[in-house]
Chain A
Amino acid sequence: GAVVSQHPSRVICKSGTSVKIECRSLDFQATTMFWYRQFPKQSLMLMATSNEGSKATYEQGVEKDKFLINHASLTLSTLTVTSAHPEDSSFYICSARIAGGARRNEQFFGPGTRLTVL
């Protein structure tokens, strides 16, 4: 149980276009989802925290108008990279947290989405 999926797994787009990445919790409800960015051979950097039904909380230095996050339901959060540029090319990973129970605070990670902006 506790599987998180991401779609697409890989996307290549032209500079200036927008790209939407979906993150779904498949067999549990996630009131909180997280979006990370991972550069090659580096650690995960938290971009934002999204709570179902409310606005996302962005980390310092992350442009909220560029990285739009929507957490419309308890199983789906989306990250839209608007007007993408080559420097946005990265590996984007989402995770979802189980709210309670024995596995509380445990985060389950999606497989990631490789974004390449030409």
Chain B
Amino acid sequence: AQRVTQPEKLLSVFKGAPVELKCNYSYSGSPELFWYVQYSRQRLQLLLRHISRESIKGFTADLNKGETSFHLKKPFAQEEDSAMYYCALLDYGQNFVFGPGTRLSVLP
């Protein structure tokens, strides 16, 4: 079955420090993976998707099929990055399977 795990419920880093939000998945086939972000009191929005290979707001994520991971990284965290981050996988039926989410807190 398709599954997305995010081992950290909460991640706190200081401003300017590197940040890595972990995401692992289980899926048979070629996965399509996404990172969604939910800022305080705002709706969920797409941060990036692996097929576009973009860097959004300084974040990048590389799909590692060997490790079945899609970790989200940013070299220098900013306070405005504080939010809830969800890793998601698009399954066979074209439905999203969301991970449990990681709350990132960037401290001043």
List residues of chain B with CB within 8 A of the CB of A34: 95-96
Q: Are A106 and B44 in contact (CB under 8 A)?
A: no
Interface residue SS majority, chain A: strand
Question: A93 CA to B36 CA in the complex, in Å?
Answer: 14
| Total number of A residues with any Cβ neighbor in B under 8 Å | 19
List residues of chain A with CB within 8 A of the CB of B42: 111
Q: Are B96 and A46 in contact (CB under 8 A)?
A: yes
| Total number of B residues with any Cβ neighbor in A under 8 Å | 19
Question: A44 CA to B90 CA in the complex, in Å?
Answer: 14
A25 within 8 A of B: no
Q: Are A105 and B90 in contact (CB under 8 A)?
A: yes
Mask: chain B, 44-56; 1 = CB below 8 Å from A; 0 = not: 1110010000000
Interface centre among A93, A95, A105 (most CB of B within 10 A): A105
- Contact count A vs B, C-beta below 8 Å: 40
- Tell me, rounded to whole Å, the shortest Cβ–Cβ distance linking A31 to chain B: 11
List residues of chain A with CB within 8 A of the CB of B36: 109
Segment among B12-20, B21-29, B60-68, B98-106 that sits at the interface with chain A? B98-106
Q: Are B95 and A44 in contact (CB under 8 A)?
A: no
Q: Please give the residue numbers on chain A whose beta carbons come within 8 Å of chain B beta carbons, in ascending order.
A: 4, 32, 34, 42-44, 46, 49, 93, 95, 97, 105-112
Given A109-B36, A109-B43, A111-B42, 11 additional A-B pairs, CB 8 A: A4-B43, A43-B100, A43-B101, A44-B86, A44-B98, A46-B95, A46-B97, A49-B93, A49-B95, A106-B49, A111-B43
